[in-house]
Amino acid sequence: MFELALPDQPDSNVIVADLAAAVLGYVGYAPDAIADVTAKMRDAVAGAAARGRNGCHVAFRVHDGELQIAVSSDGAAAWQTVRPLP
């Protein structure tokens, strides 16, 4: 499991997109899957930052052959996805 707590900063969505692209690329996902997930995460983090004042939390978990990714803010889920490992 890898988790990251991001402060409420304007560039948090860019940081998360870069991090997600690196993690997904390292795991072996195809470029189109990486682009899809990073775009959705970037939007989720931007939306969470707009709604909350305490930044957001991003978690990557591997369980039972799947990669689970979640974005939350102020204790509430903002976005999540589950993808089979390549």
Over the stretch 24-82, which tens digit does the pLDDT of each residue have? 999 999 999 999 999 999 888 888 777 766 778 899 999 999 999 999 888 888 899 99
- Cβ(74)–Cβ(54) under 8 Å? yes
Q: Is the dihedral of CA 10, 48, 40, 19 positive or negative?
A: positive
Domains, the chain, ordered by start: 2-84 (3.30.565.10)
Q: What is the pTM of this model?
A: 0.86
